[in-house]
Structure 1
């Protein structure tokens, strides 16, 4: 994984907000009717609404998170659904902890 993309993904308050919201999809997106937000993911439209940004802006943030490996995107019909990748996030946090504590 390209760590520079991951660092870039984490360098945005809005992208961090997305990751926090997706940590508890039922709590924040329980009103999603098209698919179970926990099992299937959260529709990009609802993420844009939660961020109070236009959909193209939200899509750009989500694409950076996807490139970093922090979310997966699943398409169904005309919608795209996002879900956190807990393994990738854990790997990144482990790497960052090692990098910041290691004497080289």
Structure 2
């Protein structure tokens, strides 16, 4: 996992953000309580949102949803956590802030 101190890769980050679907996922994850029902095995804020909830809300195939989440995770914008056989996703706020700061510096 990247830290906020590490320079965010602008090309990887921009590619991850180049999809309206991935931007929507990031928007939902910014306030998961407002966009998703309570979960049994994980707290929406602390643990993140279960991949199944994201898939259902996106109304996409599991493989397509997984690809979108993988791109966001690889870019560092979201953190994936395994818990009780499920994968939960939450925003990596420190890296998002570092990415925005670094991108401003480049532009």
TM-score, length-scaled by structure 2: 0.87
Q: Which has more radius of gyration?
A: 1
Unmatched segments (≥5 aa) in structure 1: none
Say what the alpha-carbon RMSD is for the aligned residues: 1.1
Does residue 57 of the first structure (1) align with residue 79 of the second (2)?
Answer: no
- Greater helix content: 1
**Could you tell me whether the CA contact under 8 Å between 2:41 and 2:84 is conserved in 1?**
no
1:14-60 deviation digits (Å, cap 9, x = unpaired): 00000000000111113323211111110001011111111111110
Matched positions, count: 100
Match of 1:25 in 2: 32
Match of 2:3 in 1: none
Instruction: Flag the structure with more relative contact order, 1 or 2, with Cα contacts below 8 A and sequence separation at least 6.
Output: 2
TM-score, length-scaled by structure 1: 0.90
Divergent runs of 4+, >3 A: none
Unmatched segments (≥5 aa) in structure 2: 1-7
Of residues 29-38 and 72-81 in structure 1, the stretch that sits farther from structure 2 once superposed is 29-38
